[in-house]
């Protein structure tokens, strides 16, 4: 199943590359986001319920109207530390009415997450957990960190697999413009 999803995302990426080259309204990506793939059409995701550290349930559709930057990470991932630190630096630069940043831990052992966050001085307004790795049924989780962009309806509109310097000065303005464009295109 994971291999099928990886191939599906590759196919979607190839289709989006052709679209991006032909679409005059495509935003120019900053160099730091050159690996970000934006999809031609939003892709619905199967509904799953995730939890936060307090056990409160969450779904991809709860950030009504806002683009979500969903960042997959794990405590055993060394690049995830830097990725999360840069995401934390990015959040204050974003308009919370347009964008939400949600780190999603795929650790099976939830007892590792709070000490990891404390050790690295990481705090997020939202942080979700997926110890059963349900997200692996709908998104590829073989590479972390990985970031998925969801529109206000919880549909996949973009992704980047691997580390990104989210603290780069060009990222926040680009994401704000992208969120605005995606919001305008939403039904």
Each residue's pLDDT tens digit, 61-108 = 998 789 999 999 999 999 999 999 999 999 999 999 999 999 999 999
Q: Report strand pairing: 67-73 vs 99-105.
A: parallel
Q: What are 59-65's contacts with CB under 8 Å, separation 24+?
A: 59/154, 60/150, 60/154, 61/153, 61/154, 62/154, 63/100, 63/102, 63/150, 63/152, 63/154, 64/152, 65/152, 65/183, 65/186
Largest CA distance in the chain: 48
State the pLDDT at residue 155.
96
Question: pLDDT averaged over the chain?
Answer: 88
**Prediction pTM value:** 0.86
Q: Has residue 2 got a pLDDT over 50? A: yes
Tokens read off for 150: 């969801």
Distances (CA, A) of 139 to 7, 11, 36, 75, 160: 11, 14, 15, 19, 12
Domains located in the chain, CATH noted: 2-185 (3.40.30.10)
Q: Has residue 25 got a pLDDT over 80? A: no
State the pLDDT at residue 1.
55
- Better-predicted residue by pLDDT, 167 or 12: 167
* Averaged pLDDT for residues 112-123: 98
State the pLDDT at residue 74.
98
State the pLDDT at residue 182.
85
User: Do 176 and 101 form a contact (C-beta atoms < 8 A)?
Assistant: no
User: Do 158 and 39 form a contact (C-beta atoms < 8 A)?
Assistant: yes
């Amino acid at each position: 199943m994971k291999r099928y999803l990886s191939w599906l995302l590759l196919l979607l990426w190839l289709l989006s590359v052709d679209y991006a080259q032909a679409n005059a309204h495509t935003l120019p990506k900053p160099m730091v986001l050159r690996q970000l793939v934006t999809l031609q059409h939003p892709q619905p995701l199967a509904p799953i319920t995730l939890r936060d550290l307090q056990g409160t349930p969450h779904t991809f559709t709860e950030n009504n109207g806002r683009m979500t930057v969903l960042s997959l990470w794990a405590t055993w991932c060394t690049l995830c530390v830097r990725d999360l630190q840069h995401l934390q630096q990015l959040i204050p630069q974003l308009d919370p009415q347009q964008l939400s940043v949600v780190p999603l831990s795929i650790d099976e052992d939830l007892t590792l997450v709070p000490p990891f966050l404390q050790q690295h001085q990481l705090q997020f307004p939202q942080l979700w957990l997926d110890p059963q790795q349900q997200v692996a049924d709908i998104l590829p989780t073989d590479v972390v960190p990985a970031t998925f962009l969801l529109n206000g309806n919880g549909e996949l509109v973009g992704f980047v697999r691997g580390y990104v310097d989210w603290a780069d000065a060009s990222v926040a303005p680009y994401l704000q413009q992208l969120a605005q464009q995606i919001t305008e295109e939403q039904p």
